[in-house]
Amino acid sequence: MRCTNFLRLAAAGMMLSLSALSGHAQDFPDKPIRVVLTYTAGGVSDGIMRLLAPKMEEVLGQKLIIEAKPGAAGNIGTIEVAKSAPDGYTLVVTATNNFVINQFTMAMPIDPLAALAPVAKLADVPLVLFSNPTVPAKDFAAFMDYVKANPGKVNFGSPAPGTVNHLLLERVKLARNLDMQHIPYRGSPQGVLALLQNDIQLFTVGLAAGLGHLKDGKFTALAVATAERLPELPDTPTLIESGLPGFTGANWWGMAAPAGTPEPVIRKLREAVQAALKEPNVIARYKAIGLGVPQESPEQWAAGLKAEADLWSEIVKKAGVTLQ
């Protein structure tokens, strides 16, 4: 009898909890939502959220409180949100690395794929492979031949070690057995300067960072790391067209909540993001600063994270990349 009563009480408690969650989801949001940025204020993620916030606030009926929590390659803010209450009132906006790479290159107390509930991708940053014009190759297929003819003499840079920019080239090296030296920098501006000075011969970065120098004839665009050619660079082939099937890579920015956040809450947040991404001023501003509006749905993006993590995990292991 005592066992039966205990089971009844447990069932009743579970029903009350489910009822509370359901009520919370229906009322969500009834107070401001905190959005944690994992990089410094004034950076790309800050700019993205300032663009998206007005429409998101209109749809949600609440203010978004945007707060920067930088440090440890974006891990500090990511971990803080992952450990927050799963109620939809604390969100993180962070980059590719913090979702699918950092857990393989440095010690982390969480697995982001398990600890976070993806809401939506907010922006794509198409990557372009730029070279110094002193390099005789004018496309990436020719550049790979140039590297093979000059083993150990070609340097490629990245905005930071362990980034997609870096790992994409490590993947190319492994696939084509290329002898290139990696030189990491502390951000894109330093890498751009190094390429201008021919300290490196190849630098992979977002279109906006190199477009001005390309127009001035100081850079050569060898390839783009997208599935199709960029409208801004119609004559620049993709890596796939350069003889590297399936080779794509992009920095992107995404929003997530703590794991366990109720699905109706996630759905409301996704609807707000999608509404903001359709705003004409957002689309125009994205194009002006070299960002791409995500083409896949939030559900498609979330479903692809595991495969992307598996890819970069394999490259990290094979190339021996570590930040520890």
Indicate whether 298 belongs to any domain: yes
Q: Which residues pair with 204 in a beta bridge?
A: 129
Enclosing domain of residue 149? 126-224
State how many domains the chain has. Answer: 2
Q: What is the pLDDT of residue 6?
A: 44
Please indicate, yes or no, whether residues 204 and 260 belong to a single structural domain of this protein.
no
Indicate whether 307 belongs to any domain: yes
Indicate whether 136 belongs to any domain: yes
For residue 13 the two structure tokens come to 């408690």
Kind of pairing between the strands at 250-258 and 90-95: antiparallel
Q: Is 175 exposed, middle or buried (0-12, 13-18, 19+ CB in 10 A)?
A: middle
Q: What is the pLDDT of residue 18?
A: 47
Q: What is the pLDDT of residue 322?
A: 87
pLDDT by residue for the chain (324 residues), tens only, comes to 444 554 455 455 555 544 455 555 789 999 999 999 999 998 899 999 999 999 999 999 999 999 999 999 999 999 999 999 999 999 999 999 999 999 999 999 999 999 999 999 999 999 999 999 999 999 999 999 999 999 999 999 999 999 999 999 999 999 999 999 999 998 899 999 999 999 999 999 999 899 999 999 999 999 999 999 999 999 999 999 999 999 999 899 999 999 999 999 999 999 999 999 999 999 999 999 889 999 999 999 999 999 999 999 999 999 999 886
Please indicate, yes or no, whether residues 131 and 84 belong to a single structural domain of this protein.
no
Indicate whether 300 belongs to any domain: yes
pTM for the whole thing? 0.88
Please indicate, yes or no, whether residues 149 and 220 belong to a single structural domain of this protein.
yes
Crossing angle of helices 44-60 and 263-277, in 10° steps, is 110
Task: Please report, for the domain that includes residue 216, its CATH number.
Answer: 3.40.190.10
